[in-house]
Chain A
Amino acid sequence: MATVQVSEAEKVYILHGIRDDLRVDGRGCEDYRHMEVETDVVSNTDGSAKVTLGHTAVLVGVKAEIGKPKPMIPNEGYLEFFVDCSANATPEFEGRGGEELGTELSNTLYKVFNNQHSLDLRSLCISPGEHCWVLYVDVLVSSSLQGHLSIT
């Protein structure tokens, strides 16, 4: 979709609308767009999901591999995140443009899953200090009109 610069008058119009709880597409301030969630969409992975929110679509694949646990934490496995903002999403992501956003999103994902309760990392251990499961979570942002983090 072509991006058109928003004029100053339009910006004021949008802000006034928000004050009256009415956004440009007719939603209220706290309404979500239509969301679709599908799982097991990619057959080659050990787990996958696709989430579509409005015009933004994000595809996530998880692959489990056996690796060596981190030296300081020998009895737990770990997760590795990688977010790729592909040029399919918007022309701004062409080449290395999407790299900054991708790094920011993957750093945030590391922080979000860095707690005891979202995933029991001890269950990923095979033999302490030698083998453990490593879950590689790869995220592909395929079409984008903002709102990436909440979807991932």
Chain B
Amino acid sequence: MPTDTKRVRGPDVSQSPFLFWSRPAEVLPSHEPRADGRQRDQVDVRPVFVRCGLVSQAKGSAYIEAGNTKVLCCVYGPRETERKDETDMKSGRLTTDMRFAPFSCPERGSWIQGSQDKDFSLMLQESLQPAVCLHRYPRSQIEVNVMVLENSGSILAHAITCASMALADAGIEMYDLVLGCSLRQDGGSYVVDPTYPEENSWRSGSGEKRGGLTVAFLPSLNQVSGLQSDGEMAEETLTAGIRTCIEGCYKLYPVIQRALIKAVRRAAPPPAES
């Protein structure tokens, strides 16, 4: 198990002071309105701020903010494959890396990648791969690096959206954009685009139909490229949840398109009318 030998972290048994504070009722019962004023049981996603081209040294980059969630993505490539034995003659390779900044979650994380980071990286790669025209970049590799600056819920969905915007900003050929949307099923009702407390409140409280779902969707081709779910939900709830997430992706689509058009106009301004 790799350990961090460069930083003095304090004794291993140190715990966060939050554990010892008397917590107010953490459980958000399913009939109460959501803390930030959005509606339950409706496709009410948080307003999103997106900007492309913020990192000048990367080929393409994108930054997305949804509520307090902040995600930054950089794309490098296509460039020569580093490990020669993995060079694929017919198509390119897409490598993804998703990292959480240590200050991003309420509990301080470590710089060494945990299994959760690797899990998200794999999910990100599986969602982006069907959309990128890898056969146009033989013997090359495209690197997508996602950095989560603040985790306020629904992180995988926004990382997927951010990564596909960065790929588009880098000029990588794609069949379609990949948008992500997530949902939290809480007893009989659901909340779309959950915040961090909404995602983690299910631990206290029992009952069935508590689970989360993240969907990666290609809007123009109407195809689902990634699906991740945990907790337990009935089959009908799950299928209804997927449809709800798809609707959420469609709501996000015009905003992303406008941001990309703005970025293209900035990079290559249209010729002046003579």
Interface of chain B, helix or strand or loop or mixed?
mixed
- Neighbour of B19 across the interface among A71, A106, A111, A116, CB < 8 A: A71
User: Does A127 count as interface, using CB distance less than 8 angstroms?
Assistant: no
* Least distance between A18 CB and chain B CB atoms (Å): 20
User: Does B203 count as interface, using CB distance less than 8 angstroms?
Assistant: yes
Interface of chain A, helix or strand or loop or mixed?
loop
Q: Which residues of A contact B41 (CB under 8 A)?
A: none
- Neighbour of B119 across the interface among A72, A107, A117, CB < 8 A: A107
Query: In the bound complex, how far is the Cα of B12 from the Cα of A71, in angstroms?
Result: 13
User: Does B210 count as interface, using CB distance less than 8 angstroms?
Assistant: yes
Over the window 105-141 of chain A, the binary record of Cβ atoms lying under 8 Å from chain B Cβ atoms (1 yes, 0 no) is 0110001001111000000000000000000000000
Query: In the bound complex, how far is the Cα of B119 from the Cα of A104, in angstroms?
Result: 7
Number of interface residues of B (CB under 8 A): 17
Contact A111 B230 (CB under 8 A): yes
Contact A114 B119 (CB under 8 A): no
User: Does A42 count as interface, using CB distance less than 8 angstroms?
Assistant: no
* Least distance between A67 CB and chain B CB atoms (Å): 14
Query: In the bound complex, how far is the Cα of B106 from the Cα of A106, in angstroms?
Result: 25
Q: Which residues of A contact B206 (CB under 8 A)?
A: 116
Contact A116 B208 (CB under 8 A): yes
Known: A115-B211, A116-B206. A106 touches B115 (CB 8 A): yes
- Neighbour of B122 across the interface among A72, A104, A106, CB < 8 A: A104
Known: A103-B118, A106-B115, A115-B231. A73 touches B208 (CB 8 A): no
Query: In the bound complex, how far is the Cα of B208 from the Cα of A71, in angstroms?
Result: 24
* Least distance between A92 CB and chain B CB atoms (Å): 13
Q: Which residues of A contact B15 (CB under 8 A)?
A: 71
* Least distance between B73 CB and chain A CB atoms (Å): 22
Question: What are 15 sample pairs from A and B whose C-beta atoms fall under 8 A apart?
Answer: A72-B19, A103-B115, A103-B118, A103-B119, A107-B115, A107-B116, A107-B119, A111-B229, A114-B230, A114-B231, A115-B211, A115-B230, A115-B231, A116-B206, A116-B232
Which 4 pairs of residues, A with B, have the shortest CB-CB distance? A115-B232, A111-B230, A107-B119, A114-B230
Which B residues contact A (CB, under 8 angstroms)? Answer: 15, 19, 115-116, 118-119, 122, 203, 206-208, 210-211, 229-232
Sample of 18 more A-B contacts, CB < 8 Å, known A72-B19, A116-B206, A116-B232 = A71-B15, A71-B19, A103-B115, A104-B119, A104-B122, A106-B115, A107-B115, A107-B116, A107-B119, A111-B230, A114-B230, A115-B210, A115-B211, A115-B230, A116-B207, A116-B208, A117-B208, A117-B232
